């Protein structure tokens, strides 16, 4: 954590390191969410005894 | 402009990277959990759907990771004192305790729910119990109160093969209970050989590990006793018929070496030689457990082919 926030006239400005860290966390969350969608999709198919359509 | 009254010290923006959140899961412990759970799964005498098997393993791994994160939330104060743990994300100041608590609880809920949906609710319940046991019983209750912390707490580390067996069979049997016993009896000599090497660290943090409260001599005796007990427990998979002769031989030879190294720890007191003996036992303990589980898996896969 960093107490490096600057109170500026235009509002709060993040430092470059903070922006970079936030972007990498956002990417990780997006990947995890996409992974969860895929996970529940394949679990549903497996529970129903089906094959994914791309397997024919 | 209106001053809205923020002070610089009140507003903090996280510098945490995804890697910090990954480290909160204790990935090395998680890999051991995945391995023992995998063996618990393939030893089960049922056909395992590969997709559901993989998803179950993932859920068990995430559950283990969640309990690791919750443990780090609770133990942040002592982690900051011990040299081995002071670089962890919370003491290093990269993630707050509150963030870690939310992260751990969320992952716990998701892992239990996913295992319940993908496998069954017996396995999900066992996973929830494992997380509860590690976080509440071990971390919150036992760790700072009794020298038997890792003996009882070892149950949490021993449960993953039981959870995995339940995930694929929907029931319990003697085989997973024996695998549980194997890890449970293995845990004390494994951790105490490390605790003998790190006893000053534990003493500084106020953690009542056996060498700190009962002394090194009592610890060496206990290590020898548990190592001797591990020998027959290691032979049980073969004796009960769910492992083959190869496993029996490996368990017998490994068990003898284990007791031999524990005897060396018992006999060698003080100085560099004693530290070396502890280091050897600690290293071999990991190899021994890994080999016992790997041979079990190898035998089962060889029979299936």
Domain finish residue from B172, B205, B232? B172
How large is the ipTM? 0.80
Nearest to A9 among B1, B15, B96 (CB): B1
B257 and B289 share one domain:
yes
Share of chain B above pLDDT 90, in %: 88
Contact at CB, A43 and B117, closer than 8 angstroms: yes
- B69 has a pLDDT exceeding 90: yes
pLDDT at residue A7 greater than cutoff 80: no
Counting beta carbons within 10 angstroms of the beta carbon of residue A40, is it exposed (0 to 12), middle (13 to 18) or buried (19 or more)?
middle
> Virtual CA dihedral for B167, B169, B174, B179, nearest 10 degrees?
-40
- Picking from A3, A20, A23, A49 by the largest number of B CB atoms within 10 A of its own CB, the best residue to mutate is A3
For B97, which residue in chain A has the nearest alpha carbon? A1
From the list A2, A7, A45, which residue is nearest B15 (CB)? A2
B87 and B225, same domain (yes or no)? no
Average pLDDT value for residue range B163-177 = 96
Is residue B14 assigned to a domain?
no
* Whole-prediction pTM: 0.90
Which single residue is written with the structure tokens 């996409």?
Answer: A34
- Specify the CATH number for the domain of residue B165: 1.10.357.140
Domain assignment of residue B298, given as a range: 176-305
Of B98-112, B141-155, B260-274, B291-305, where does the model show the most confidence?
B98-112
What pLDDT score was predicted for residue A53? Answer: 67
Q: Quick check: A12 pLDDT over 90?
A: no
Q: φ and ψ at B304, to 5 degrees?
A: -70, -25
- Per-residue confidence (pLDDT) for residue A28, from 0 to 100: 97
The answer to whether residue B3 is domain-embedded is: no
- Domain contains B6: no
Average pLDDT value over all residues in chain B: 94
- pLDDT at residue number B271: 86
Tens digits of residue pLDDT in B10-40: 567 889 999 999 999 999 999 999 999 999 9
- For residue A43, give its domain range: 6-55
Report pLDDT for B10. 57
Asked which of B125, B152, B172 is the last residue of a domain, the reply is B172
Contacts of B303 (CB under 8 A, 6+ apart): B244
For B265, the token pair is 């720890």
Q: Does B98 touch chain A (CB under 8 A)?
A: no
Read off the DSSP letter of residue A56: -
How many domains would you assign to chain A? 1
Q: Are B231 and B139 members of one domain?
A: no
Q: For A19-51, what is each residue's pLDDT tens digit?
A: 999 999 999 999 999 999 999 999 999 999 876
Q: In terms of domains, do B152 and B49 share one?
A: yes
Q: Check A18 against B14: CB less than 8 A apart.
A: yes
List pLDDT tens digits, range B191-249: 999 999 988 889 998 899 999 999 999 999 999 999 999 999 999 999 999 999 999 99
The tally of domains found in chain B comes to 2
């Amino acid at each position: 954590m960093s107490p490096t926030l600057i109170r500026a006239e235009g509002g709060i400005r993040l430092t470059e390191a903070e922006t970079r860290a936030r972007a990498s966390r956002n990417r990780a969350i997006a990947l995890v969410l996409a992974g969860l969608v895929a996970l529940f999709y394949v679990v549903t198919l497996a529970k129903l005894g089906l094959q994914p359509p791309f397997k024919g | 402009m209106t001053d809205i009254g923020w002070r610089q010290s009140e507003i903090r923006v996280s510098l945490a990277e995804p890697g910090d959140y990954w480290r909160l899961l204790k990935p090395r412990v998680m890999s051991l959990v995945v391995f023992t759970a995998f063996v618990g799964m393939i030893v089960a005498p049922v056909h395992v759907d590969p997709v559901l098997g993989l998803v179950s393993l993932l859920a068990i791994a995430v559950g283990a990771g969640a309990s690791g994160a919750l443990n780090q939330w609770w133990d942040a104060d002592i982690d900051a004192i011990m040299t081995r743990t002071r670089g962890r994300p919370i003491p290093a100041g990269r993630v707050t305790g509150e963030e870690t608590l939310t992260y751990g609880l969320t992952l716990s809920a998701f892992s239990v729910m996913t295992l319940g949906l993908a496998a069954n609710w017996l396995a999900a319940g066992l996973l929830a119990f494992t997380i509860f046991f590690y976080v509440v019983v071990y971390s919150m209750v036992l760790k700072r109160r009794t020298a038997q912390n890792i003996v009882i707490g070892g149950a949490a580390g021993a449960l993953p093969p039981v959870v995995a067996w339940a995930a694929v069979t929907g029931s319990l049997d003697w085989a997973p209970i024996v695998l549980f016993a194997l890890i449970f009896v293995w845990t004390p000599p494994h951790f105490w050989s490390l605790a003998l090497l790190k006893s000053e660290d534990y003493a500084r943090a106020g953690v009542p590990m056996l060498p700190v409260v009962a002394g090194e001599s009592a610890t060496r005796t206990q290590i020898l006793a548990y190592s001797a007990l591990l020998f027959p427990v290691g032979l049980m998979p073969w004796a009960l018929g769910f492992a083959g002769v190869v496993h029996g031989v490996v368990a017998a030879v490994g068990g003898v070496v284990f007791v031999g190294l524990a005897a060396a720890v018992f006999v060698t007191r003080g100085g560099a030689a004693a530290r070396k003996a502890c280091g050897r036992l600690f290293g071999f303990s990991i190899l021994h457990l890994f080999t016992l589980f790997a041979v079990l898996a190898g035998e089962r896969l060889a029979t299936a082919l």
